[in-house]
Amino acid sequence: MSDLFQHSRRVTYADCTLGNHVYYSRYLDFLEEARGEFLRHLGASFLRWQEQDVIFPVLEVHLRYRAAARYDDVIGVAVSVARLDRIRVAFAYRVTRADGHLLLEGETQHVCTSLAEKPRRIPEEMAALLSPHVSPEAV
């Protein structure tokens, strides 16, 4: 895990629901944020692709909740590339508390499309940035 990209954030009241735990949909917001920072870290943000008529709508989401994050916890979201083909990419995530305790494992699958949502091939530059990070076993 030590080489994986990780993005951290602190849990706010906005993220929580009754019983002092993060509401179950909020993790998808955290994954989006971490995925965005991962792409930026690789060298080309989603915004840059969007400006080139390339977006990545979600096809599928799979989340396994392992423990609850609480208000004011600092959580880390590790991101890796689970799969990559000509038009699809899947990211894997591992959300942990600052003390290393596992909170959530997840995967999101995306298809490459134009802004008009027509499927298109993942740009070569992007595939080249992602492919060194394909690590199906990593997360």
**Judged by CB under 8 A, does residue 25 bind a copy of itself?**
yes
**Judged by CB under 8 A, does residue 53 bind a copy of itself?**
no
> What gap in Å lies between CA 43 and CA 48, rounded to an integer?
10
**Angle, vertex CA 104, rays to CA 98 and CA 106, nearest 5:** 130
> What gap in Å lies between CA 126 and CA 139, rounded to an integer?
21
CB nearer a copy of itself, residue 2 or residue 14:
14
**Judged by CB under 8 A, does residue 135 bind a copy of itself?**
no
**Judged by CB under 8 A, does residue 45 bind a copy of itself?**
yes
Number of other CB atoms surrounding residue 22 within 10 Å: 24
CB nearer a copy of itself, residue 48 or residue 123:
48
Residues contacting 68, CB < 8 A, separation 6+: 20, 21, 22, 103
Burial zone of 59 (CB within 10 Å; 0-12 exposed, 13-18 middle, 19+ buried): exposed
**Judged by CB under 8 A, does residue 19 bind a copy of itself?**
yes
CB nearer a copy of itself, residue 15 or residue 130:
15
**Judged by CB under 8 A, does residue 98 bind a copy of itself?**
no
**3-class state of residue 74 by DSSP:** strand
CB nearer a copy of itself, residue 2 or residue 13:
13
Binding interface with a copy of itself (CB under 8 A): 10, 12-14, 16-21, 23-29, 32-33, 36-37, 45-47, 50, 55, 57-65, 68, 71-72, 115, 117
